[in-house]
Structure 1
Amino acid sequence: MSSEPTSPPDFVRSRDLWFDDGSVVLIAEKIGFRVHKSQLALRCEFFQDMFGLPQPENEESGAEIYEKCPVVRMSDKAEDVADFLRAIYSLSTTPYTHIQNECGKYFALALETNIPIILPAVYFAATRSPLEEFLNGLDDASDMRTFVIGQERLRQAETKYVLSFLGSEFRRPSCQASNDSAILTRTAAAALRNTTEDEPYHQWCSDHPTEVGRSLSLCNNCCTTITNAIEEGQKKVWKELPGFFGLPDWEILQAGTSSRKSGNGTVKLRFANFRWTRLQSGIEDLYLTI
């Protein structure tokens, strides 16, 4: 039978990540998280390996026990552990919104943990944020230059691919309204005039592909044709996104990440791998609407 400590715990329970039926207690910076081994093992290779080994069951065998749960002391920041756990338990905010609000922080952490595959998504989210806010978080002049040049390349690509439906060569074979062509011609002219707005037209179309046709009062067939064209354009932009910011293509970035995951990285690195994968896929799903 495992023995329980008689002295008060040296940690404070997390307010939202302490489950009474949890089977393990994680402690980071004197914050305790009572969670479930099965959830951790399912989502993180580090914990899968840890819990796959025979575990001591009492203090005499070297185990630290709290309320009949094994205790795992983490060297990571409590904030990082909490973010990781909230992602597992779906308690966090939308990935895109979260990263958009803290682009500078994620950019720095991606460099620190050497996980470049998330950088394209961070750069992309930053282009949807106030320019000054992101640049203020960059210390290196070359990073600033990379972002500014990449932002312009992204703008050109979205204008070319996402707004292809405004080109004179674009075909709408099933159009049911004779005035749709005139509407699109006027829209193209307006799009050129608003390139300096806080939300340029190409960006709005990228973020709302299914609403574009209806917002112009086009016929149903044209709405569908334009939505399909925008989504195809988004895929082209996403495929080329790393190159806009001087990064190798997605396949090379993924290969580099996979090789790091196969190593004996720290807990922090493994947390980072999980968080980056989730954030990157969240942005990709929202942008590509797939």
Structure 2
Amino acid sequence: MSSSESSAKRQRMENAPITRSNIWHRDGSVVLQAEATQFRVHWSVLALSSPFFRDVQDLPQPSDQPSVEGCPLVELQDDATDVEYLLKALYDPMFMGQKALPFPAVAALIRLGRKYDFRHLLNSAVERLTFENPTTLEEYATLPREAEKQTTTRIVYHRGLIFDMISLARENNILSALPCAYYRAVANCDQQLFFDGIRKRDGTTASLAPVDVRRLVVARQKLVQAQWNMENTLGWLKTLSHYSDCDAPPSCDAFRNKTLSHCLASGSLRAFWNPTNMAMAKWRGLCDKCKYRAQESMTAGRKKMWEELPGFFNLPPWSELKNDL
């Protein structure tokens, strides 16, 4: 959000009438206000999970402390929707028990979890983000449809989700999620979308920061080229002839040449093409020996490319990608 948009939003909030949230406990002991929305909750609930609010509770209250229905009023400089998601997570055990949470909820718990030290909510939200964008090839391979179709299982899918996850991870120093999230973007999105953003169903746009756009544009070209290196995923397709112990040279050569032409013509990125997930029909035309050699080459190649994945996006190696929470 630009500074002018932020200023306009603040002005609207200052002029907006104060509204009472549905989160209003009649026996609550403190009222939180975010933007023009108030929430009546309990100091004990906040303090139990947040050292920040524990310290605020212990501060001496000035005589002119604003109050609402006898409760001290604490104004927060946060989005009201974020605060509502945070309080739902604190008060409703079923909320965090959902298999998949909406992305705005995950983002709110990460932002406010970091800011106010709600450590268990922060860790839970980060686990959802990193589950969708893992650090190991084995975890990546277990995601539905290899994650390259942007299917998610811990965060509710929406158009533009991959861009939203990239921005959330980078802005909150969840660095371990970035290589996989970046790869999913370059593997699934037309390059023009990096610049234009992805229009969501609610009319807003999932946009990327310039640093992310540059990383994606540069990395895509490098990844497409690298996948054809002899030691990488698709290198076996560029061998000059069939293997020496091939049982059906004409058939195997024709298969390899046809597959090579198709992949080159499509220009697609298949750095982590999993040979064990390919239907038998995909291998029809190769003899058993060549099929084994091809699968062996692809398996070794995709492992090598995964190890090198962070470097394609100008990030440190996997072992150095720490989350600064």
Q: TM-score, normalised by structure 2?
A: 0.48
Indicate the percent of aligned positions where both proteins have the same amino acid: 24
Cα drift, residue 75 of structure 1: 5.3
Aligned equivalents of 1:124 and 1:164: distance in 2? Answer: 19
- From 251, 268, 272, the equivalent of 1:206 is 272
User: For residue 157 of structure 1, what is the aligned residue in structure 2?
Assistant: 226
Cα drift, residue 152 of structure 1: 1.0
User: For residue 282 of structure 2, what is the aligned residue in structure 1?
Assistant: 215
CA RMSD of aligned residues (A): 4.2
User: For residue 300 of structure 2, what is the aligned residue in structure 1?
Assistant: 232
User: For residue 147 of structure 1, what is the aligned residue in structure 2?
Assistant: 216
SS across alignment from 1:128: helix
For residues 236-280 of structure 1, what are the alpha-carbon distances to aligned partners after superposition, in whole Å with 9 as ceiling and x for unaligned? 111111111111222222xx34xx4xxxxxxxx4xxxxxxxxxxx
Aligned equivalents of 2:279 and 2:298: distance in 1? Answer: 9
**Structure 2 unmatched runs, 5+:** 1-24, 29-38, 41-84, 98-110, 115-120, 132-142, 198-205
**Structure 1 unmatched runs, 5+:** 1-5, 12-26, 40-73, 261-268, 270-290
CA distance 1:75–1:223, change in 2 (3 Å): same
Aligned equivalents of 1:86 and 1:176: distance in 2? Answer: 48
Q: Check if 1:172 corresponds to 2:243.
A: yes
Aligned equivalents of 1:86 and 1:150: distance in 2? Answer: 26
Aligned equivalents of 1:213 and 1:194: distance in 2? Answer: 22
- From 237, 252, 257, the equivalent of 1:185 is 257
Cα drift, residue 166 of structure 1: 1.2
2:311–2:317 Cα contact (<8 Å) kept? yes
Give the count of matched residue pairs.
192
Aligned equivalents of 2:92 and 2:122: distance in 1? Answer: 9
User: For residue 111 of structure 1, what is the aligned residue in structure 2?
Assistant: 170
CA distance 1:143–1:116, change in 2 (3 Å): same
**Counterpart amino acid of 2:168?**
L
1:106–1:122 Cα contact (<8 Å) kept? yes
Aligned equivalents of 2:293 and 2:280: distance in 1? Answer: 9
Larger radius of gyration: 2
Aligned equivalents of 1:251 and 1:224: distance in 2? Answer: 32
Cα drift, residue 102 of structure 1: 1.4
Aligned equivalents of 1:121 and 1:139: distance in 2? Answer: 16
1:28–1:81 Cα contact (<8 Å) kept? no
Aligned equivalents of 1:213 and 1:229: distance in 2? Answer: 17
User: For residue 87 of structure 2, what is the aligned residue in structure 1?
Assistant: 29
Aligned equivalents of 2:220 and 2:299: distance in 1? Answer: 20
CA distance 1:8–1:172, change in 2 (3 Å): farther
Aligned equivalents of 1:122 and 1:85: distance in 2? Answer: 14
CA distance 1:85–1:241, change in 2 (3 Å): closer
CA distance 1:170–1:107, change in 2 (3 Å): farther
Aligned equivalents of 2:280 and 2:238: distance in 1? Answer: 15
CA distance 1:143–1:236, change in 2 (3 Å): same
2:241–2:253 Cα contact (<8 Å) kept? no
**Counterpart amino acid of 1:162?**
T
1:212–1:226 Cα contact (<8 Å) kept? no
